[in-house]
A and B are shown apart, each in its own frame.
Chain A
Amino acid sequence: MKSLKRIYLLIIILFLYAPIFILMIASFNNSKYIGGWSGFTLDWYVQLFKDREIMSSLYVTLSMALIAAIVATILGTLAAIGINTFSKGPKALMLNISYIPVVNADIVTGVSLMLLFIFTRIPRGYFTMLLAHITFCIPYVIFAVLPRLQMTSSQYYEAALDLGAKPSYAIRKVILPDIMPGIINGALLAFTLSLDDFVVSFFTTSNVNNLSTTIYAMARRGINPKINALSTLMFIAVVLLLLLINNRTTKQEKALRKEISKS
């Protein structure tokens, strides 16, 4: 029974990873066609870095994820602080509307924003894509920050005001430190969501491409060894990033355990 379980897990793992590893192997294959191995090469990697289209779309993806995450985190955190003080009805209304981009199909979000830009005759490009990214990122920040706010009591904030602090000072010194973990979570979530988005980007741009829309355009034309190389690099980046995060948390846990055992 135990080995049966192991075999089942192994089969699923194989199913999940085999395509990725085949891509990785193909990225070092000399032949443009997958048919057979015809020698090791790094040529596709050289061509990948020489490809202006891919490099500029990489820049678009990274810069947009950064800007979208920063703007969404600021607007979302402020919104959460404000919404938290709303009375029941308006609060529920705000949260329900904020919930729409989270649960709605990406394609409907994308299409509705595309209609907005068509209707207002704003030419679609980097700026409209950025607006769209900020829009679907803000709700995730709000829903990351709000639970933290609900955990902290508003009495400290009021006490700070009574003691003569200006609201902006009280927010910075009393509320922000309390909700910081939520803000960081929200910001990271916004960054990765923007980084990974394809559908909304696809509908809200026309000439400026990010990595996802470039990959889509290239993949539609069929197999392209440069994409194989790109996939390999992105997969390695993801694994390294996760190992780093995992390692950091286990280290923290270890340190924590040491502290506990000392006392």
Chain B
Amino acid sequence: MTRKYFAYPYLAWMVLFIVVPLLLVVYYAFTAEAAGTISFSLQNIAGFFSTTTLNVFAKSIWLAVLCTVICLLLAYPVAYILASSKINSRTLMVWFVLPMWMNFLLRTYAWLIILDSNGIINQVINLFGLPSAQLLYTNEAVLLGMIYNFLPFMILPIYTALTKIPRNLYEAAEDLGANSTTKFFKITVPLSMPGIISGFTMVFIPSITTFSISRLLGGAQTMLFGDLIENQFMFMQDWHAGSAISFVMMILMLISLYIMTRYEKAGESSGGLW
């Protein structure tokens, strides 16, 4: 008996629970049910390109891009300061990733208390005699919730990438007369690129597909891509329309992953030329 056979139970599991379900998504996306018979149809895929769905799609992308860029801008200095500090930054780093370990629904829920019409912020506003503001159930609330939830996922990979940069590169650059700006843009930024890219995927994809953050902090006002899928499956119970949206999302994600791995590889090969 060879060791090969050990993989067979998982092989069966993989086919049944990974491959078949994805094929089912494709099957449901390209079929429609009419009078009890299921037949091939493009109407659900076409449904994706309706104005309402495209508007939701555009809004999701916009919020996800904003969230990713803001996370990057907030996270890079944190990672940079920690990686370049002389004290033991690893223990300090624990404090930045610790919130990651708490259930993200609870972290999102925390903002309900802060932004609620009777919440902390409105209490303070009222103290100055100003009327309460509608903070909850807005796009900004959803964006804030996303940034809050995903920020540690941007800090961690950038920090890891920065700590891997060999110190002697900086010394060599100094010997050759580089100032700190040159060092930052010629060494730090290019060599932290893998961290930025993996941070990008760890923030962008979850923020495009979230439905719980938008549902809790955005209410019915903010309909995102994830909400659309959730709505079709759990409320409308229209497996075909829901699958069509999921299918398009899968394709988009494959494309973005492909671009990112290509970019990563290109970065690696050019990294050798520096």
The interface of chain A, by Cβ under 8 A from chain B, is: 5, 8-9, 12-13, 15-17, 19-20, 22-23, 26, 33-36, 75-76, 78-79, 81-86, 94, 97-98, 100-101, 103-108, 111-116, 118-119, 131-132, 134-135, 138, 142, 157, 167, 171, 196, 198-199, 203, 211-212, 215-216, 219-220, 222-223, 227-228, 230-231, 234-235, 238-239, 241-242, 246
Whether A19 contacts B118 in the complex (CB less than 8 A), given A94-B14, A220-B216, comes out as no
B128 within 8 A of A: no
Contact partner, A116, options B20, B101, B110, Cβ 8 Å: B20
5 more contacts with CB within 8 A, not counting A8-B77, A113-B21, are A104-B250, A131-B17, A203-B233, A234-B103, A235-B102
- Assuming the A-B contacts A111-B229, A216-B105, are A94 and B123 also in contact, with contact meaning beta carbons closer than 8 angstroms in the complex? no
Interface residues of B in 22-46 (CB under 8 A from A): 22, 24-25, 28
Q: Does B56 contact A (CB under 8 A)?
A: no
Q: In the complex, what's the smallest C-beta–C-beta distance from A156 to chain B, in angstroms?
A: 13
Query: Do the beta carbons of B104 and A198 come within 8 Å of each other?
Result: yes
Contact partners of B205 in chain A: CB under 8 A: 105
Interface class of chain A by DSSP: helix
Q: How far is the CA of A81 from the CA of B110 in the complex (A)?
A: 44
Q: What 6 pairs between A and B have smallest CB-CB spacing?
A: A82-B7, A79-B10, A112-B21, A19-B110, A82-B6, A105-B209
Q: How far is the CA of A16 from the CA of B113 in the complex (A)?
A: 15
A212 near B103 with CB under 8 A, answer yes
The minimal Cβ–Cβ distance linking A92 to chain B, given in whole angstroms, is 14
Q: Which residue in A16, A157, A227 is a CB contact (below 8 Å) of B96?
A: A16
- Shortest B159–chain A CB gap in Å is 12
The answer to whether B103 and A211 touch across the interface, beta carbons within 8 angstroms, is yes
Given contacts A107-B211, A115-B239, A116-B17, contact A82 B105 (CB under 8 A): no
**Residues from chain B with Cβ under 8 Å of A78 in the complex:** 6-7, 9-10
> In the complex, are the beta carbons of B4 and A86 less than 8 A apart?
yes
- A-B contact list, 7 entries, CB within 8 Å: A9-B78, A17-B99, A22-B110, A75-B9, A81-B7, A211-B103, A219-B105
Give the distance in Å from the alpha carbon of A159 to the alpha carbon of B227 in the complex: 57
B109 touches A231 (CB 8 A): yes
Against A, the Cβ 8 Å flags (1 = close, 0 = not) of B92-136 are: 101110110111111111111110101110010000000000000
Which residues of B219-247 have CB atoms within 8 Å of chain A's CB atoms? 226, 229-230, 233-234, 239, 242-243, 246
Residues of B with C-beta under 8 A to A235: 102, 106
Q: Which residues of A contact B119 (CB under 8 A)?
A: 34
B36 to chain A, nearest CB (A): 16
CB proximity to A under 8 Å, residues B191-220: 201, 205-206, 208-209, 211-212, 215-216
Report the Cα distance A79→B119, complex, angstroms: 51
Docked Cα-Cα span, A108 to B25, in Å, equals 9
Give A199 to B265 CA distance when docked, in angstroms. Answer: 31
Contacts of B246 in A (CB 8 A): 107-108, 111-112
Residues of chain A within 8 A of B146, CB atoms compared? none
* Least distance between A1 CB and chain B CB atoms (Å): 10
Partner among A12, A107, A199 whose Cβ is within 8 Å of the Cβ of B78: A12
Contacting pair A94 B22 (CB below 8 A)? no
Q: State the Cβ distance, B48 to closest chain A Cβ, in Å.
A: 15
B113 touching A20, Cβ below 8 Å: no
Instruction: Given A16-B151, A20-B99, A86-B7, verify A215-B106 contact (CB < 8 Å).
Output: yes
Shortest distance from the beta carbon of B99 to any chain A beta carbon, whole Å: 5
A135 neighbours in B (Cβ, 8 Å): 13, 17-18
Which B residues are in CB contact (< 8 Å) with A119?
24
Residues of A close to B95: CB separation below 8 A:
13
Interface residue from B11, B18, B81 paired with A100 (Cβ < 8 Å)? B18
Is the pair B249, A105 in contact by a Cβ cutoff of 8 Å?
Answer: yes
Nearest B residue to A24 by beta-carbon distance? B110
B2 contacts partner chain A, Cβ-Cβ < 8 Å: yes
Q: Which residues of B are found within 8 Å of A227, using beta-carbon distances?
A: 106, 109
CB-CB < 8 A to A131: which residues of B?
17
In angstroms, how far is the closest chain A Cβ from the Cβ of B204?
11
User: For the complex, what is the distance from the CA of A76 to the CA of B91, rounded to whole Å?
Assistant: 32
Residues in B whose Cβ lies below 8 Å from that of A35: 118, 123
> B216 to A79, Cβ gap below 8 A?
no
Given contacts A19-B111, A23-B113, A79-B6, contact A114 B249 (CB under 8 A): no
Q: Is B19 an interface residue (CB 8 A)?
A: yes
| Cα distance, A142 to B13, chains bound together (Å) | 13
Residue of A nearest to B147 (CB): A15
Q: How far is the CB of A157 from chain B (nearest CB, A)?
A: 8
